Copies of this chain bind each other. A is one copy, B any other.
Amino acid sequence: MRTWQAYLEENGERFLHELKDFLHIPSISALPEYAGDVQEAAKWVAARLRAAGIENVEILPTGGHPVVYGDWLHAPGKLTVLIYGHFDTQPVDPLELWTRPPFEPAIVEGRIYARGATDNKGNMLTPILAAEALLRTEGALPVNVKFFLEGQEEIGSPQMAAFVAGQREKLACDMVFSADTVQWSEDQPSVLLSWKGLCGLQIDVQASRTDLHSGAAGGTFQNPIHALAYLIASMRAQDGRILVDGFYDDVLPLSAEEREQLAQLPYSDLEYKRSIGLPAELDLFGEPGYTTLERAGVRPTLDVNGIWGGFQGEGIKTIIPSRAHAKLTCRLVADQDPERIMRLIEAHIGKHTPPGVQVKVTRHSSGVKAYRMPADHPGNQAASQVLEEVYGKVPYYTRRGGTLPVSPLFLEQLGAYTVSMAFSLPDENTHAPDEFFRLSSFARGQQAYCMVLHKLAEK
């Protein structure tokens, strides 16, 4: 019998061509004009699942971008594992900072460059290819597998709460494996124990009906950009502490053990600064009393993601703008409730709005809760063993600032924890220009998913 190892090797070239095909689809979930492309990506995924031998493949409507479902349930008495990933991508701007067009994938020195390469299309494909390899070589999967691949992760999965609640039977499982996550480094694996939550708001400030001449009208009414600057400045102290009343109320304090776990991770401010391209003479910055890793991993944050208003062209235009706008997101930790945090921010804005302007606040969806899981969960054990075999090193236990909206949802609705197993690396320009994925990680992911499905058959 041919082994799955041989199958993966023999088909490596083809899999890479398929990944390039997949990356050609500009499935940007945030921009309405790309909704058709997200749909196109769903069709591509459904076809790929079928080709792998997965059964009952469907594109399920959600009221927004769809979910692709498929299963293989012929392992009686064995665990049922739901495998998660997403086929939507972030937007691409600033486009001018990309070396190549973001949806024309290019392979350069063992890396594939494209929007979505590492987050999440490259990773998302690996369990599908692993399932194909097992089915073609062993004729069966070691456990029961369900695929749940979604198209709205990058916009906070707004329809997933209702969707998962309505599909509890179809999605029932013992645990979830997420193919949307990151390893510590190229030669050091890690197992993730927590994700942050997320909520987002847009602030629109308006005064006069139109832009006005700054000579004629300057000094007579409130400038919306100044008003917006006051509002933003009022939300964070100069030292980085968030000043929204009640923001920290429900934050679980860091235990001594958690702090120690984080402190033991090899990490250097200097190297981190280099990795994000912060000039050497600038210091890192954030909430006082916490290390960089603590701030990044387990402390909540409030950040303006974008701001605009008035004249942005070259040269000078002496106007008082009519309007100014900002987009703001918070990364939340347990046990902060996104709905309550948005309410607190709205109250803060109401209380701090300077005289002379109208302020409108629009919530971006209902937000996502933070997620934590026990270190000794059987899925974590299986993942750890596989990662140790693949890397030859014991994985670190880590906590991350990213958000995986479906994890708290799966826990709430299906009673299933989400184990993270995927192979992005921190330098791969996730959400940024020149995103890429290592071809070595692509191969490693296929191999690791074959191994972990076997490992789970022993549980």
Binding site for B on A (CB under 8 A): 29-32, 90-91, 93-94, 97, 155-156, 196, 198, 200, 207-223, 225-226, 228-230, 232-234, 236, 238, 240, 272-273, 276-279, 282-287, 292, 295-296, 299, 301, 303-321, 324-327, 329, 331, 354-358, 364, 400-403, 426, 429-434
Q: Is the CB of B432 within 8 A of A211?
A: yes
C-alpha gap A320/B217 in the complex (Å) = 34
Q: Is the CB of A284 within 8 A of B316?
A: no
Given A220-B284, A331-B215, A402-B215, answer yes or no on A312-B303 (Cβ-Cβ < 8 Å): no
C-alpha gap A31/B430 in the complex (Å) = 35
Given A229-B233, A317-B327, 10 further pairs, Cβ under 8 A: A30-B314, A211-B433, A217-B296, A217-B401, A221-B282, A229-B229, A238-B354, A279-B358, A306-B310, A317-B431
Contacts of A233 in B (CB 8 A): 226, 229-230, 232-234
Closest Cβ of chain B to A354, distance in Å, is: 6
C-alpha gap A327/B308 in the complex (Å) = 12
Contacts of A317 in B (CB 8 A): 30, 90-91, 305-306, 327, 431
- Which single member of B31, B287, B329 contacts A314 (CB below 8 Å)? B31
- Which single member of B226, B277, B305 contacts A303 (CB below 8 Å)? B226
Closest Cβ of chain B to A276, distance in Å, is: 5
Q: Is the CB of A208 within 8 A of B331?
A: no
Contacts of A217 in B (CB 8 A): 276, 296, 401
Q: Is the CB of A305 within 8 A of B315?
A: no
Closest Cβ of chain B to A400, distance in Å, is: 7
Closest Cβ of chain B to A277, distance in Å, is: 2
**Interface of A: prevailing SS:** loop
Q: Is the CB of A311 within 8 A of B303?
A: no
Q: Is the CB of A31 within 8 A of B276?
A: no
Q: Is the CB of A311 within 8 A of B93?
A: yes
Given A331-B215, A426-B216, answer yes or no on A232-B226 (Cβ-Cβ < 8 Å): yes
Closest Cβ of chain B to A225, distance in Å, is: 4
Contacts of A276 in B (CB 8 A): 208-209, 212, 217, 220-221
Contacts of A228 in B (CB 8 A): 229, 307
Q: Is the CB of A307 within 8 A of B304?
A: no
Q: Is the CB of A214 within 8 A of B284?
A: no
Contacts of A434 in B (CB 8 A): 210
Contacts of A357 in B (CB 8 A): 282
Contacts of A156 in B (CB 8 A): 316
Contacts of A295 in B (CB 8 A): 219-220
Given A296-B217, A358-B279, answer yes or no on A313-B209 (Cβ-Cβ < 8 Å): no
- Which single member of B215, B225, B306, B426 contacts A312 (CB below 8 Å)? B306
C-alpha gap A180/B117 in the complex (Å) = 58
Q: Is the CB of B426 within 8 A of A210?
A: no
Closest to A326 in B: B225
Q: Is the CB of B286 within 8 A of A219?
A: yes
Contacts of A219 in B (CB 8 A): 240, 286-287, 295-296, 299, 301, 331, 401
| Residue of A97, A214, A309 with most chain B CB atoms under a 10 A cut-off | A214
Contacts of A287 in B (CB 8 A): 219
C-alpha gap A279/B2 in the complex (Å) = 76
